[in-house]
Chain A
């Protein structure tokens, strides 16, 4: 299914999400806890805005010279005896990896968490090979796998939508007999997965950053499974989005610091590793080291107004501050890349037909832009997507489109606006009512408009379906009228 996690339409997904009270509570709790941890970690580091400048500069620089850095990286991997394959599509990537698995007579594959491997459906492709089994070893990904390959709902906390009881049930199928305590369930997973690790002959990892001048890859994790994936199997495959590259170990180190703080509020995660093909005198680590560099739609952003989306370091902090994600969760977005970054990235990768709803799933509150450690102007890019869809592709043919264009005309012409101010009160009178008055103050001084019904356009009903609308001021009571009178009175008094 690639990056789509659902075949249902957006409205249905939102409807379902609204009913999922557990999910909403757990996302809210996670957001609130992460808010405190993240802000404290950034504050303790100090000069956060200048760190963001540096993070942005590094990412902009490598995107600008992306082909050169990829070339340098590939040269250095190959110099050390590794292999690099450039895949334009998900299919090219999975075919290469499957061919390799066949050639190496691989039986057991261990994987550490990688969003790009989910994007290209690597697990399912590998399992099509006879005699090959695949094991996700990140605790969350393992839970998803064992729960009939459930889809991730967060790029850093993939099982945010599941509670401990649900996870206990998943583990019971594997022979777990203990309680629902996270500590005990994690111990069970440790033992279960350790046995698998020791037999694995292929390891698949993602890549936080590829180091161009050394040919190493950098992984930032907490559990230690990625390091076992890079230590034990004879063959290692690294799948990386083509933009995940830095000039040297130094820039990797800067971004690791920013990533850890932004993603989980830690100064560094438990394990930050820089790794490649084993040297001749070392006994573990991969004999065979393959890096698969994947485009799969990323190049759609190059040279366009969306290029900055490639700066993303997948920290997930924009999800953690997003009030829309807070209420609809990952499943509401229907993409493995949810939240603000997902709403920008998913249409770039897969087009507007599949993901054209997502740029509208935002109140443009800019919390994402404010938190982004590499200064991606996320909310502006959402407006850009809307711009492309409305002004350039004209994807909206509804009455809403006509209304928006009318507003455009009305707000551009003083005469039209004045007549609107003059007539607004009269036009709305039929629907206003005063049947309750729980709200005091200026809002409903003229009157209150309750729920509107057809034939009022859907767009206007959208407002009144859930909240009352103030009745427009009468033309002889509006602010302009008052101001004119006020100035006349001042003049009459001989004041200024």
Chain B
């Protein structure tokens, strides 16, 4: 199956390891990956700040680029950005040139863990990681993309990984895109509470499916000099993989029958 990788500007600019891990996992499950050359950014920084006019060009470029590869699916390593891609369908519904393309894009776009779980039917990616970890649930992935299950199922199946629930998991980490820079005072109190919550779990690793949240929470950890390891879920699912451990939903259902 052909997959176009929606790399996101954050991964392109800052985090090569996240993109690599995602590509390697997808290829392990038989995906033929492509990286559309002209993609840039989903448009959230300007759109969410109220610069809708300025965002139009960004959305059009992203659509043209991601659809330039004739892929079955479009997969990205960030729940928030994928939720934004899907929202084009609504925000461009009156755009005579792009309405249909936006709908097509929305229908085949998935966040990485969501794609593994919902499309490929994977429950155990075959990974192993001997550590105690906690998971930060991103607001946009949960509420706008509506994905609150996939990452938890996949992480629960990683061998030797002890997952500890994060208290007040429902609360935003204080990132909020440009909010974090425009309202640093408020953002600080929010991210401090999140750092404290993570510390209270005594986890060694903080995992998420949204690199931008991790950049925020990790950035505050770093500034406070508190110890933590930050991992993207793709990196976790790409750790010490033994393909013999791989399990699909259908395997489990068979066992249950």
Give the B-binding residues of A (Cβ under 8 A): 11, 14-15, 18, 24, 28, 32, 35, 321, 323-324, 326-328, 332, 360-367, 369-370, 383, 385-391, 400, 404-405, 407-414, 417, 420-421, 424, 436, 438-446, 448, 450, 459-460, 462-463, 465-473, 477-484, 486, 496
What is the minimal beta-carbon distance from B22 to any residue of chain A, in angstroms? Answer: 9
B232 surroundings in chain A (CB, below 8 A):
442
Asked if A462 contacts B50 (CB within 8 A), the reply is: no
A465 surroundings in chain B (CB, below 8 A):
184
The 6 A-B pairs at the shortest CB distance, nearest first, are namely A363-B176, A386-B50, A408-B54, A467-B219, A412-B57, A479-B19
Asked if B176 contacts A370 (CB within 8 A), the reply is: no
- How far is it, in angstroms, between the C-alpha of A90 and the C-alpha of B143 when the chains are bound? 38
Asked if A18 contacts B189 (CB within 8 A), the reply is: yes
Asked if A324 contacts B221 (CB within 8 A), the reply is: no
6 residue pairs A–B, Cβ–Cβ below 8 Å = A14-B186, A363-B179, A365-B171, A411-B40, A438-B221, A478-B13
What is the minimal beta-carbon distance from B55 to any residue of chain A, in angstroms? Answer: 6
Q: Cβ of B185 < 8 Å from any Cβ of A?
A: yes
Answer whether A468 and B222 are a contact pair too, CB < 8 Å, given A404-B178, A478-B13: yes
- How far is it, in angstroms, between the C-alpha of A442 and the C-alpha of B208 when the chains are bound? 12
Asked if A439 contacts B218 (CB within 8 A), the reply is: yes
Asked if B228 contacts A365 (CB within 8 A), the reply is: no
Q: How does the 8 Å CB contact mask read for B145-185 relative to A, with 1 for contact and 0 for none? A: 00000000000000000000000101110111111111111
Q: Cβ of B223 < 8 Å from any Cβ of A?
A: yes
What is the minimal beta-carbon distance from B10 to any residue of chain A, in angstroms? Answer: 9
Answer whether A15 and B229 are a contact pair too, CB < 8 Å, given A411-B43, A438-B222: no
Tell which of B35, B45, B172, B189 touches A407, judged by Cβ atoms closer than 8 Å: B45
What is the minimal beta-carbon distance from A51 to any residue of chain B, in angstroms? Answer: 18
Answer whether A35 and B216 are a contact pair too, CB < 8 Å, given A362-B179, A441-B230: no
Asked if A383 contacts B47 (CB within 8 A), the reply is: yes
Asked if B15 contacts A442 (CB within 8 A), the reply is: yes
* Majority DSSP secondary structure for residues of B touching A: helix
Asked if A473 contacts B16 (CB within 8 A), the reply is: yes
Answer whether A468 and B55 are a contact pair too, CB < 8 Å, given A414-B37, A442-B18: no
B175 surroundings in chain A (CB, below 8 A):
363
- How far is it, in angstroms, between the C-alpha of A321 and the C-alpha of B171 when the chains are bound? 8
B100 surroundings in chain A (CB, below 8 A):
none
The chain A residue with its CB closest to the CB of B10 is A470
Asked if B50 contacts A389 (CB within 8 A), the reply is: yes
Q: Cβ of B240 < 8 Å from any Cβ of A?
A: no
B86 surroundings in chain A (CB, below 8 A):
none
Answer whether A442 and B231 are a contact pair too, CB < 8 Å, given A363-B175, A412-B57: yes
The chain B residue with its CB closest to the CB of A465 is B184
Q: Cβ of B114 < 8 Å from any Cβ of A?
A: no
Give the one of B7, B140, B183, B228 with max A CB within 10 A. B183
Asked if B143 contacts A370 (CB within 8 A), the reply is: yes
B12 surroundings in chain A (CB, below 8 A):
421, 478-480
Q: Cβ of B243 < 8 Å from any Cβ of A?
A: no
- How far is it, in angstroms, between the C-alpha of A366 and the C-alpha of B142 when the chains are bound? 10
Asked if B190 contacts A462 (CB within 8 A), the reply is: no
B180-203 residues with Cβ-Cβ distance < 8 A to A are 180-191, 193
B13-31 residues with Cβ-Cβ distance < 8 A to A are 13-20, 23
What is the minimal beta-carbon distance from A42 to any residue of chain B, in angstroms? Answer: 14
- How far is it, in angstroms, between the C-alpha of A387 and the C-alpha of B20 when the chains are bound? 36
What is the minimal beta-carbon distance from A428 to any residue of chain B, in angstroms? Answer: 10
What is the minimal beta-carbon distance from A137 to any residue of chain B, in angstroms? Answer: 35
The chain A residue with its CB closest to the CB of B22 is A479
A404 surroundings in chain B (CB, below 8 A):
45-46, 49, 51, 54, 178
B221 surroundings in chain A (CB, below 8 A):
438-439
Asked if A436 contacts B222 (CB within 8 A), the reply is: yes
Answer whether A11 and B182 are a contact pair too, CB < 8 Å, given A391-B52, A412-B58: no
A413 surroundings in chain B (CB, below 8 A):
40, 57, 61
Number of contact residues on B: which range applies? Answer: 35 or more
A412 surroundings in chain B (CB, below 8 A):
40, 54, 56-58, 60-61
Asked if B229 contacts A459 (CB within 8 A), the reply is: no
A480 surroundings in chain B (CB, below 8 A):
7, 12, 35
Tell which of A327, A388, A424, A444 touches B190, judged by Cβ atoms closer than 8 Å: A327
- How far is it, in angstroms, between the C-alpha of A404 and the C-alpha of B48 when the chains are bound? 11
B47 surroundings in chain A (CB, below 8 A):
383
Asked if B50 contacts A366 (CB within 8 A), the reply is: no
Asked if B218 contacts A443 (CB within 8 A), the reply is: yes
Asked if A323 contacts B15 (CB within 8 A), the reply is: no
Asked if B185 contacts A411 (CB within 8 A), the reply is: no
- How far is it, in angstroms, between the C-alpha of A351 and the C-alpha of B177 when the chains are bound? 25
What is the minimal beta-carbon distance from A391 to any residue of chain B, in angstroms? Answer: 5
Asked if A424 contacts B13 (CB within 8 A), the reply is: yes
Answer whether A444 and B48 are a contact pair too, CB < 8 Å, given A327-B186, A483-B23: no
Tell which of A365, A407, A424, A460 touches B139, judged by Cβ atoms closer than 8 Å: A365
Tell which of B45, B53, B191, B218 touches A391, judged by Cβ atoms closer than 8 Å: B53
Asked if A462 contacts B184 (CB within 8 A), the reply is: yes
Asked if A411 contacts B46 (CB within 8 A), the reply is: yes
Q: Cβ of B71 < 8 Å from any Cβ of A?
A: no
Q: Cβ of B103 < 8 Å from any Cβ of A?
A: no
Tell which of B176, B225, B227, B229 touches A364, judged by Cβ atoms closer than 8 Å: B176
What is the minimal beta-carbon distance from B127 to any residue of chain A, in angstroms? Answer: 16
B50 surroundings in chain A (CB, below 8 A):
383, 385-391
B193 surroundings in chain A (CB, below 8 A):
28, 326-327
Q: Cβ of B214 < 8 Å from any Cβ of A?
A: yes
A364 surroundings in chain B (CB, below 8 A):
48, 139, 176-177, 179
- How far is it, in angstroms, between the C-alpha of A466 and the C-alpha of B189 when the chains are bound? 10
What is the minimal beta-carbon distance from B6 to any residue of chain A, in angstroms? Answer: 12
- How far is it, in angstroms, between the C-alpha of A448 and the C-alpha of B215 when the chains are bound? 11
B5 surroundings in chain A (CB, below 8 A):
483
The chain B residue with its CB closest to the CB of A471 is B14
What is the minimal beta-carbon distance from B94 to any residue of chain A, in angstroms? Answer: 13
- How far is it, in angstroms, between the C-alpha of A471 and the C-alpha of B231 when the chains are bound? 17
Tell which of A367, A400, A409 touches B143, judged by Cβ atoms closer than 8 Å: A367
Q: Cβ of B144 < 8 Å from any Cβ of A?
A: yes
Asked if B215 contacts A408 (CB within 8 A), the reply is: no
B103-161 residues with Cβ-Cβ distance < 8 A to A are 139-140, 143-144
Asked if B17 contacts A445 (CB within 8 A), the reply is: yes
Tell which of B15, B19, B55, B170 touches A408, judged by Cβ atoms closer than 8 Å: B55
